[in-house]
Each structure stands twice: as structure tokens, then as C-alpha cells.
A and B are shown apart, each in its own frame.
Chain A
Amino acid sequence: MTLGMRVSGGVAVLLWVLGMAAGLTLAPPEEHMSDLVRIMFVHVPVAWAAMATFTVALVASVGWLATHRWGWDHLLDASLEVGVLLGVLLSVQGSVWGYPTWGTWWTWDPRLTSVAVMVLSFLGILALRAFVDEPEKRASWSAAASILAWGSVPFTYFCVKVMNSLHQKQTPWGAMHPDMLKALLLNTATITLLTVWMLMARYQLARTELRRELGT
């Protein structure tokens, strides 16, 4: 385990304990949805982490296409997998929150549909990678596909602002109780660090895999 992984992992575990305590005890229940609001403290950070991770995939893709350095492909490999994991987690959390508040697990709302398109696009790229045996081709094709698929990320973020949706808009500063905001920020830090940890671990794995594949 690298120093970066030790530091991010260690700090994440510490913050995780604080974040859980803040989310479950410090933050008050919400006026209308009571304790159901507590899902928000992990739902919003996971949404941010998923979109940030797919943006890392975009940067890695451009990096590979421009330089053909293997490090970028390892980063792309890592961010695709971690991003899909976070995206699936995001949808599950959303369903769990949506059923008791909205009255449905799923609906073809613009935000929900857009997240589904985003996660399935990147899942498809993981499948593409699994089917291409030649490492250079695999890297270039999945990089090009990732640049295309990334278009779903800003769409996912902005759709609630410009379209009629069941999903709420982004909360402006000040529209959230300060203790809820503290819990949200602590958990955002935790989940961001855990994501960084996962990306680093998966990067190392990708490097090991490619070395074995190339026989070097």
C-alpha cells in the first residue's frame, strides 16, 4: 500500500466515524420528512463522487489519446470501474429515499433517466474493454467512448435546473439547516477520500494486470 493510500484511507476512516455521528445524531430530523433526510448525507456525496470520477475518466481519456502513456489508461480503467460502482450505489440510495418520500422507487424523471444513461454508458465501456484483447486498441477505443459518454455528466447535473423534474434542484447555500450542512460536508470529505483510495488501489491493479499481459 502506498503512502497516499495509507493517508487517504486513514483520514477517511476517521472522518467516516465523525460523519456518521454527525449525520445520525447532530443533524436534526427534517420538518416534513423527519429522519428520512439522513439518506441525503450520503446520497449527495456519492452523486458528487460519481460525477467527479467520470470526469477523471474524461481527463484520463484525453491524456491517453494525447500522449499514449500507459498511466492514463490505468487511470481510465480505475475511474470507469469506481465510477460505475458509485453510480449503482447512487441509484440504490435514491430508490431507498424515493419510495417513502415521493411514493415510488423509480420514475422516468429527467434526473433519474440521465443517471441511468450515464451509468449504463460507462458500464458499456467496461464491457467494451473486456472484449478488446489488444491493449493499445482497448485504451484508444475506450478513451474515445469515455469522452462521448462524459456528455451525460453535465446533463445529469444541470437537467434539474432547466427541466420539469420530480427530483429536487441543487440546494442553495443557506437553504439547509447548519447542522445538516456540517453532516453533509463531513460525509462529502469522507466519500471523496474513499473514492481517491479506491482509484489509487484500482490504478495499481490495472498496472499489474497490464504488466502481466505484456509480459514485462
Chain B
Amino acid sequence: MSKLRLPAILVGVSVVSVLAFLSFGSMDKNLVYYWSPTTLRASKPASEGATVRLGGLVKAGSVRVDGTNTVFTVVDDQASVEVRTASIPPQMFREGIGVVVEGHLGPDGIFVSKRLLVKHDENYKAPADGKLSEAQSGSVKED
């Protein structure tokens, strides 16, 4: 019994490692949380109408309000997609920030989104001149 124990552990560990390698290896191809503008553009027309998540940066100068909708452009290094959303942007939404929008690409090439999520990056800075960014200034009562 105890002679068999170590080999059994080794076999178990190798099986798990192989399974883990297989699932990790194919994970990024089959399971993506969001598509980049490049991927979404490249997969047309198959992606048209399908509910997907699109992730990228909000292009500087692209944000405008159109009635009750917010319209802006999501970009990556190579492509851009115009997004129209009826959802109220979270407080941190601004030009240049990372966003993830859920919705579908319409036949006119505009991505219609029902849900807008804002991404925070891994940098944690203090406000440069002692002032918070526009989005936050309203919520702070100090000085």
C-alpha cells in the first residue's frame, strides 16, 4: 500500500498537469471575455447581430451626447468601432479610459450597447496638482 503511494501521487500530479496545460492552452482561443475592435472588424459579417463584448480605449475627442444616448469610438492599435449606448456611463468614464461594452454590431457598422463597463488600469497615481480628475471633483468635499 505505502509502496504504491508515491507513484500514485506522481501519476495523479502528471494527469492534472496535462489537463491543466490542455485547458490553459486552448483557453485564450475559445473563451474570451471581450473582443478587440480589430477582431470584431475582422470577423464581419459573422459577428453582425451577435451579442458580444467589445473592449478597447475610448478615443480622445470622440465622446458626444446624442439625445439620451452616449456616442463614442472604441479603438485599439489598428481598428476603431463607433459605439452608441443608452446606459448611463459609470462615474470614471472619460476619454482615453479602457471600456468594455456589451451589445451587437449593427449593419451600419455602429456597435449598439446596452451595458457599459469601465476598466481601471494597474497605475495608481495621486492627482498631479492636488486636484482630482473632473469625474471625481463633484464627490469630494475637501479643501
Q: Which residues on A are within 8 Å of B, measured CB to CB?
A: 28-35, 37, 40, 62, 65-66, 100-104, 107-110, 144, 147-148, 151, 155, 162-166, 168-172, 175-177, 179-180
| Docked-complex contact A31 and B132, CB < 8 angstroms | yes
Number of CB contacts from chain A to chain B under 8 A = 115
Chain A residues with CB under 8 A of B128 = 31
Determine the residue in chain A with the shortest Cβ distance to B8. Answer: A65
Bound-state CA distance A87–B33 (Å) is 22
Chain A residues with CB under 8 A of B33 = 108-110, 163-166
Bound-state CA distance A163–B92 (Å) is 23
Chain B residues with CB under 8 A of A177 = 124-126
| Docked-complex contact A168 and B122, CB < 8 angstroms | yes
The 10 closest A-B pairs by CB, nearest first: A103-B90, A28-B126, A34-B136, A171-B122, A176-B124, A168-B122, A31-B125, A175-B123, A169-B122, A177-B126
| Docked-complex contact B123 and A34, CB < 8 angstroms | no
User: Which residues of chain B (65-122) have a CB below 8 Å from chain A?
Assistant: 89-92, 94, 97, 100, 115-122
Q: Give the contacting residue for B24; candidates A155, A171, A180; CB below 8 A.
A: A155
Min CB–CB distance A2 → chain B (angstroms) = 31
| Docked-complex contact B124 and A37, CB < 8 angstroms | yes
| Docked-complex contact A151 and B20, CB < 8 angstroms | yes
**Residue-by-residue, is B28-53 near A (CB-CB < 8 Å gives 1, otherwise 0)?**
10011111100000000000000000
